Amino acid sequence: MAEQLTPMQIAQSQLRAAANKLNLEDSVLEMLLEPQRVVCVRIPVKMDDGTTKVFNGYRSQHSTAIGPAKGGLRFHPGVNLDEVKALSFWMTFKCGVLGLPYGGGKGGIEVDPKKLSRGELERLSRGYVRALADVLGSNKDIPAPDVNTNNQVMSWMLDEYSVINRQTDFGMVTGKPILLGGSKGRNEATGRGAVVTLLEALTKLKMDIKGRTVAIQGFGNVGSVAADLLWELGAKIVAISDISGGIYNQDGIDIKALLEHTAQSEYVSGFAGAIQMPGDQVFELPVDIVIPAALENVLTEKNAPKVKAKIVLEIANGPTTPKADEIMAKNGVLVLPDILSNAGGVTVSYFEWVQNNYGYYWSEDEVNDRLTKKMQESFATVWDMMQENQVDMRTAAYMVSVQRISEAIKLRGIV
């Protein structure tokens, strides 16, 4: 029977694997298995037709042992409490792997934003901040863009929070427009950080990126940035899928041309430079590198045995189930875990927060250089942990993070 685990159960399973290797105290493990605080709110919004609709909103703060909670805010009809809790959980350990002074936070509103006008979307965004103003702030919990949210949503939230508190607190959200304290390089940071992680892994394996075949699931902001950067480095992107289906070209897809196509049509289907293929086949192709860059739980015990790639680069949050991890480890597939490889976004969000606090802003080259250095250092730490303890990369990443967080918990006397 196939696995039927929730995202939170998967996250807890990953933590327990690292905790066992570290012989972590039960009291510390108990502190980390569930969020410190979860807030559920009801947000009334006056619609354009004069009626009022009420939306469910959530914010999960998994840990603040090392610093304020940090994490994205998504608008999606499928948002639910379990998902938000799991995403805040992963954010804690992602920040821990990178050594950032944050704990994990995550939020969401159960809504289809495509059905809202711009005015309704603004009133919903402001209503979320009003409902949660007491637990948000640059030293409490710092939201950022996520699924279906962007720098405009962050701008409305920044303004609403500033009105409530009678002062502007630029650091209370990240992912803002440059004019309102945003950081250069933020939009490309997650994809760029993932590529840095991949290059470090290839170096360890004595492999060159040039000519390496790549298949990618997801061509949104993150997947498209990663594809573009890899293409420029000489990788051969042979397959890409999104919700419209998949495309394939054994000679390599022209990513610049595909970006022009998706700018017009939004989806990869119909691209003239490739043939159509079922989207779910992207993980089973005979390629060097597979990149899940969209959804959770897409690599399972059903398709993991069919993965032929040498490397799986996780850019999506939680794309691999525990059973799939076991199968790919036995088959010699190197999985570069999400809490390491997709941490470029929160790293540059941290840089944005630092710049807000200083009131001094860096060039894009400086941001990218700092990001590259941070990702390289973190990869090296995780790789060494993996080698020393003979574990997989995911367990090693959790071990690095758990060590840091548990030490902070004990130093503070929380347990």
Active-site residue, selected from the candidate residues 70, 85, 94, 106: 106
Burial (Cβ within 10 Å: 0-12, 13-18, ≥19) of residue 82 = middle
CA distance 304 to 284: 8
CA distance 29 to 204: 32
CA distance 207 to 184: 31
Radius of gyration of the chain (CA): 21
Given a contact cutoff of 8 angstroms between Cβ atoms, the answer to whether 203 and 278 are in contact is no
What count of other Cβ atoms lies within 10 Å of the Cβ of residue 110?
17
Packing angle of the helix pair 255-265, 221-232 (nearest 10 deg): 160
DSSP β-ladder status, 69-76 and 236-242: unpaired
CA distance 309 to 304: 10
Given a contact cutoff of 8 angstroms between Cβ atoms, the answer to whether 168 and 197 are in contact is no
Virtual torsion, Cα 410, 340, 352, 34, nearest 10 deg: -40
CA distances to 153, 172, 195, 255 from 162, rounded to whole Å, are 14, 9, 36, 41
CA distances to 142, 171, 173, 238, 384 from 137, rounded to whole Å, are 6, 8, 8, 44, 36
The DSSP letter of residue 299 is: B
Given a contact cutoff of 8 angstroms between Cβ atoms, the answer to whether 246 and 281 are in contact is yes
Is residue 410 part of the annotated active site? The answer reads: no
Chain centroid to Cα 276, Å, comes to 28
Q: Which residues are catalytic?
A: 106
